[in-house]
Amino acid sequence: MKRILGISLLIALFFQSCLKDNVARKTTIYKPVYKTKEEVKANIKSSLPLELVAPGKIFYKDGFAFLNELYKGVHIIDIRNVASPKNVAFVNIPGAVDMAVRGNILYADMYTDLVAVDISNPQQVKLQQVITGVFPQRYYPNFDNDTGKIIVDWQPVDTVLQEGEYFGWGIRREDMMFATPATAAGSVSNGTGGSMARFGLREDRLYTVDNTDLRVFDVSVPEKPAYIRNVPTGNWGIETIFPFGNNLFIGSMTGMFIYDVTSKDQPKQVGTFTHARVCDPVISDGKHAFVTLRNGTQCQGFINQLDVVDIADLTKPKLLKSYPLTNPHGLSKVGDILLICDGADGVKVFNAADVNNIRQLGHLKGMNAYDVIGLGSIAIVSAADALYLIDFSDPAKPVVKSSITINSDK
């Protein structure tokens, strides 16, 4: 890798000397900081609360919100007092993008590995287990092939680049930003994930998805997860997973796929709903599936809408109606109330009692909303500028009860 980098720099310098009137620009790029896996595992522990900088996905369990700090770890936030949430701890997990909580165990991806962390005491979490190599699609951008080390942080470097110049090891800060009802088994309960999740819990199984595959983990003993099997879906562009009842609803760039997990270690595809190529999270209430479609840099589509799909016959999902939106992302349904994060257009509250006549009741503007978990009359919303707690007890007049602001200076 170092040899290739050196050759690349020489080539860049050569062409730079041959060009005239180059346009220079100041920018900040981020150089990776590497550590060995053993160093990383030894550092999976609690730290003092950190400011939110590049938040991602959200999860809820027993009065605590878990918020991913993109590629760095998980914030643990006490929201039992909705008016005054407390950022109580941060768990260092390099590479973390997805997470789930069962009992007192936090599961997260550490690049290619699955880690299980005991969070009984958020101030003194303990690493319980690491299952290596189960997420192979996370391998190639995160390792130094010369040393086997992995990226644990990004160091800012202010520099001046000529027009068109690019350093392969650096990324810009803006590229680091935002680029389920749970069931219990025995005495151990599962938490609730957002609709943008790639990890989903159903009873004593953890299901995960990547771009093409579905994986099954046995979490009947929460602190000792066991990898069961990989299920190739035969599809691509998979983005989200939502467990409901005996089924998994999987969202992709090209459609929704329904898997029956009555035999929990043998997921079986039973239905498909196809749409245009757009980004696609999906949730279900058992009778219908609700799919938000949006354009985006990876999706290359031009549709921004909500699709309501009849799933009375799981083998033949049928589109009932579409509703136009601005740029919808995550969504959540509580009873007849449907909450949708509509990107830069904020959070919208709908009455979905009649799926053929879904009506907007309320609208909270002023936030770039990413994902939402509805809990009773309170919604946890992950946005580009803050984590919000929203009271929608009056659906026509949703109000922000509190927030934890993101540090935009980093």
pLDDT digits (tens, 9 = 90+) for 214-263: 999 999 999 999 999 999 998 888 999 999 999 999 999 888 999 999 99
User: CA 29 → CA 1, 160, 171, 258, distances in Å?
Assistant: 19, 10, 5, 41
In contact, 193 and 201? CB cutoff 8 Å: yes
Per-residue pLDDT, 5: 41
For residue 353 the two structure tokens come to 């009692």
Q: What whole-number distance in Å separates Cα of residue 128 and Cα of residue 117?
A: 5
For residue 240, the model assigns a pLDDT of: 95
Mean pLDDT of 381-395: 96
Smallest CA-to-CA distance from 52 within 400, 384, 327 is with 384
Please tell me the predicted confidence (pLDDT) of residue 176.
33
Give the CATH class of 183-324: mainly beta
3-state secondary structure of 356: coil
φ/ψ region of 335 (left if φ > 0, alpha if ψ in -120 to 50, else beta) reads left
- pLDDT at residue 44 in the model: 80
Residue 305 reports pLDDT greater than 60:
yes
Local confidence band at 410 (pLDDT 50, 70, 90 cut-offs): low
Q: Where are the domains of the chain?
A: 25-179, 183-324
pLDDT for the residue numbered 181: 37
Provide mean pLDDT across the span 96-114: 96
Question: Mean pLDDT throughout 356-373?
Answer: 97
Confidence of residue 8 (pLDDT cuts 50, 70, 90): very low
| Tokens 């949430």, located at residue | 85
Structure tokens at 386: 């803050």
Q: Residue 37: what pLDDT?
A: 67
Distance in angstroms (rounded) separating the CA atoms of residues 70 and 329: 17
- Judge whether 71 and 147 are in contact, CB under 8 Å: no
Tell me the C-alpha distance between 387 and 402, whole Å: 9
Closest CA to 114 of 102, 126, 96: 96
**280: confidence class by pLDDT, cuts 50, 70, 90:** confident
Phi, psi of 136 (to 5 degrees): -60, -25
Q: What's residue 32's pLDDT?
A: 72
Q: Is 409 exposed, middle or buried (0-12, 13-18, 19+ CB in 10 A)?
A: exposed
Which position has the token pair 């062409």?
15
pLDDT at 307: 94
Residue 48: predicted pLDDT: 87
What confidence tens digit (pLDDT) does each residue in 145-194 have?
445 566 666 667 665 544 444 444 443 333 333 223 334 444 699 999 99
HSE-CB at 97 with a 13 A cutoff on CA atoms is 19
For the chain, give the mean pLDDT.
84
Q: Which of 40-44, 52-56, 258-262 has the lowest mean pLDDT?
A: 40-44
Name the DSSP letter for residue 174: G
Range with lowest mean pLDDT among 206-220, 296-310, 356-370:
296-310
Residue 297's pLDDT is 54
